[in-house]
Chains A and B, each alone.
Chain A
Amino acid sequence: MSAVITPQPAVQAYLTVNNVEVIYDHVILVLKGVSLQVQKGQIVALLGANGAGKTTTLKAISNLLRAERGEVTKGSIEFDGRRVDQLTPNELVRLGVCQVMEGRHCFQHLTVEENLLTGAFTRSVGRAELRRDLELVYEYFPRLKERRGSLAGYTSGGEQQMTAIGRALMAHPKMILLDEPSMGLAPQLVEEIFGIVKSLNEKEGVSILLAEQNTNIALRFADYGYILENGRVVMDGAAASLAQNEDVKEFYLGLSAGGRKSFRDTKFYRRRKRWLS
């Protein structure tokens, strides 16, 4: 791909991932030096096909890799002006960095409301304040209020996604690492959830790093985007300009000058291109 621009860290960003390399099981090299930045108050999209390394990047930040036998072997990660690569997930949540994992990962045998309450685990606050926070979550996700007493495992995929985001919200996060919120959901629901995420970003001032395969919707809601391929950032830029980029259109939005291409053509074309480069 052509337009590779390496961002020059001019001002200190809110989150800085600097040349991070990740190895699983001591041998599988998955991230080959990923760098990215999120400015305070931004929504930044991390795009790329299945297996590109989006989830791994988010887990490297939230330090959930160790539980999967993964390890950051190179590079550094800074949040709000301090190194965070050695912190435990617990310490990171306390600092305000919360991950909403791919596949929601709700606590299936806890009710929706109990799920939300677990999100406040790191904050030792009284009942009254928890109540207020729950109400705030219910304001953003009125559906969850209706379903508050149901076991999360018996709620719909969309409700589980909302529960997972609401649970992160209960921690009073400064930054949410949101992994594939659109996965397996109907387009209308995806739209609804992205709308809520956007308003969380605007009203609560939560910065968001969003991993998505659904390039189209991600670029509509994000301010900035990075495209990941094979564990490397191959392109980045303002969301609007990425959406106009010919390569992005062709390979990630399924559009090209000659109209919409079939997935199969795209795949073939891509392979050939990589082979040649």
Chain B
Amino acid sequence: MSDATPAAAKPVEAIASAVDRRKEQSHWFRFYRRNGRALNAFLALVLVWAVFAVNNPVLFLNPVYYNAFLFTVPATIFLTTSLVFVIVSGELDLAFPSVVGAAGGVFMYLVVLEVPVLAAFLVTLGFGALIGLGIGAIVVYGKISSLVATLGLNFFILGLVNLLAQGRTISAPDAVGTFGNRLLVGKWELFDTGLQIPNHFVWALAWTVFCYVLFKYHRFGVRVQLVGDNSESARQMGINVERIRVGVFIFSGIAAAITGAVLVQMANMVWFPTSGKAYLLIALAALFVGGTPTWGGVGTIFGAFFGALTVTLIPSGAVGAGFAGFWTDFLFGLVIILTMVAHRFSGARVR
């Protein structure tokens, strides 16, 4: 089209621009078709925030308000983005809260033994991978429904940790402020705004990008999606379906271990066995608000990220916006249901 002769320029230009317009539309259309669920999750976050901000603009436009938010949200981000892999593969993991607790214990045990924080952190990741391998092997090779198996394992692991801990907490005040500790959970102020950025929020962002690349562009992530879409097809095409499924639980174990090690450091190096318990429903809610459907095969990492922000914002934000405390559950449920309806518009399951 670009080398049209001057004489024919006008009609050709008209056609060219029409073609360009159509291309443009289809480009945006395709972008929405492809990312509708993540966009819905983002809109849900913006909407929830806007409702709060309208109710109390002074509070919600003040950067300092978000210090606590940025401090607490990373745990949910780590867990939710990794759960995407589990749900997309067609499995369910209800055991991650116990792994969070157990991993935090392992981490603190090592720190008390004066292992440097970073080394203890790496060992803890290995522990998470190992325990994930165990859970995955039981589910996949034992051919047990992952819902039931991980529900049982969650109690089992939590119980085991409780037995070992005998109700004790572990603390290591000396390790607070060491290099590794500061690298993992230290804070810095953003341009004199009063907004304190915690390093674990930065790590959570990096983790999200890592998950995104792994999910969308790595062989492992693509195979997770294919196994969840149609495991028999995947098997017939030579994909080792069992190995992918176990891999998903290993990944979830690693994320839970990161969360466990971060949580104890957020609590100034104090561990108690049930530290992961609160995250079970929060992380699952974040996942579904984030637009990953329950049926497997497809999901969105960035959607999960926005979902994590949303479910963290609701309880604290509701209070800040002047809703009485007992509104929280109601708002929570309302947001979940409304986002589910919105996601429904982005398409039902394709068969």
Indicate whether A and B interact: no
B residues touching A (Cβ–Cβ < 8 Å)? none
